[in-house]
Structure 1
Amino acid sequence: DQNRFLQGEDGVFTAISLDGIEYEILKEVDPQYPIKARKIGYNGVGSIKVNFLVDIDGTVKDVKFISGESKFGFREEVEKALKKWKFKPIIYKGKIIKVHFEKEFKFKKN
């Protein structure tokens, strides 16, 4: 069980794997297709893969971009949306933990 978690100096566990961890998203906001991309007439399908941390209070922190469109404002829109997400504090074996998530966002021009 130990290898699924990293214990930080603050004593808070961070899950490395989501096996056996139940989580609930209280608020989920989709990123907007960037105005910057619209303005220049770019109409590709943007795809952004991110890793982010859900903190013990259920807020999203430490958004890191793994891959995807780096121009035209797509990353900014993903970060802006994720900052509005809210999770129910994630509890594992009676302890509130921080959890890293990986997610891919796909943009379609509407």
Structure 2
Amino acid sequence: MARVQLFSIAIARSGDKGAGSNVGIMAKTPELYEFLAANLTADVVKDYFKEICLGEVTRYELPNLQSLNFILEDSLGGGGTETLITDAQGKVHGPGLLHLEMDVPDALLSAA
């Protein structure tokens, strides 16, 4: 096992969904997708964003795209037109999640 940041095994994209944000994580290989599907849970993401996500986190699986999509409810202070926060559209939530550290089996890292 190796402790790595998520950016070593995935890419991300994010944006606003009203008062919440949408974070998509795409694994670099099918094997890494299986690992992320088993380990990158809504609870893990909720805990990682606990200071900014005041609502629930819902996870959607997109295996045909090797992706997971997370909706972070109440994470934008009311949304783009109602908030005073710097990132009103949640554009840094995806890249921010890529800094999450996870213990990944060494065998999965050689193909990433």
TM-score between the two structures when normalised by the length of structure 2: 0.36
Higher percent of residues as strand: 1
Higher radius of gyration, 1 or 2: 1
Higher percent of residues as helix: 2
TM-score between the two structures when normalised by the length of structure 1: 0.36
